[in-house]
């Protein structure tokens, strides 16, 4: 039977305490590092200290108008002309909205690459013919 002396037991206890402190520090460092990694697989999931109630979506501006369109909502497009009567000569009316400013940063070794992304949405208004949509 091996019996530890008081001094070797004390050294073992101090070593375990130091190891535990180092483990806690490593855990904190890994968590901080994980918060800084861009989340390309789930871009709508919050990263790091982001508020979970924040929904990241592209907002499209309509030229010469104070209206805008959120990229995840296709149905409200029909409401843009609901207060107007469109001349039949304008139909089919195709509109395109652009969202600017999405910036993607890629760091590969010593190279830093910036990519500006512009997203587009398109909608078409058509006339009815015999109660059916015509395009």
pLDDT digits (tens, 9 = 90+) for 8-38: 777 888 888 888 889 888 888 887 776 665 5
Contact 91, 84 (CB under 8 A): no
pLDDT, residue 135, reads 45
pLDDT, residue 82, reads 64
**Average pLDDT over all residues of the chain:** 65
Tell how many helices (H) and how many strands (E) occur in the chain: 1, 6
On the question of pLDDT at 89 being above 80, the answer is no
Q: Which residue has the tokens 């697989």?
A: 41
For the stretch 71-84, what's the b/e string if a residue is b when 16 or more beta carbons lie within 10 angstroms of its beta carbon? eeeeeebeebeeee
pLDDT, residue 35, reads 67
Q: Which residue has the tokens 């830093």?
A: 112
Please write the tens of the pLDDT for every residue from 122-132. Answer: 666 666 555 55
pLDDT, residue 45, reads 57
Contact 12, 4 (CB under 8 A): yes
8-to-12, 13, 16 alpha-carbon distances in Å: 6, 9, 12
DSSP state of 15: H
pLDDT, residue 78, reads 56
Across the range 59-73, mean pLDDT stands at 63
Sign of CA pseudo-dihedral 37, 38, 41, 42: positive
On the question of pLDDT at 52 being above 60, the answer is no
Cut 0.75: pTM above it = no
């Amino acid at each position: 039977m091996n019996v530890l002396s008081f001094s070797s037991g004390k050294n073992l206890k101090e070593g375990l305490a130091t190891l535990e402190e180092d483990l806690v520090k490593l855990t904190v460092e890994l968590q901080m590092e994980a918060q800084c990694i861009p989340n390309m697989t789930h871009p709508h999931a919050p990263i790091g200290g982001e508020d979970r109630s924040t929904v990241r979506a592209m907002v499209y501006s309509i030229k010469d108008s104070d209206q805008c369109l959120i990229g995840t909502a296709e149905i409200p497009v029909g409401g843009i002309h609901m207060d107007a009567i469109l001349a039949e000569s304008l139909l089919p009316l195709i509109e395109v909205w652009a969202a600017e400013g999405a910036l993607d940063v890629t760091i590969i070794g010593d190279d830093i690459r910036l990519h500006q992304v512009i997203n587009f949405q398109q909608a078409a208004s058509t006339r009815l013919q015999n109660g059916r949509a015509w395009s």
